[in-house]
Amino acid sequence: MSSEKKLSTQELVRQQLEKKKQSQANGSSKMNGNNAGHKMKSQQTKKTSTTRRKMGS
């Protein structure tokens, strides 16, 4: 019975993965429907190079 349960849980996880892949392929996800058209941008700010400050230009 426990092995049967393991199989069913594995199957459930597999099905969820398939659904996730399909939704990503379609470009629409339930989790972030608002950000469907927008790409995530990195939050690291661009640091100005110190060489410019040293040269004085």
Tokens of residue 43, six digits: 């939050």
Q: Interior CA angle at 15 toward 4 and 38, to 5°?
A: 155
Task: List the chain pLDDT tens, one digit each, 57 residues.
Answer: 567 777 788 899 999 999 888 887 776 545 555 555 667 777 777 777 777 777 765
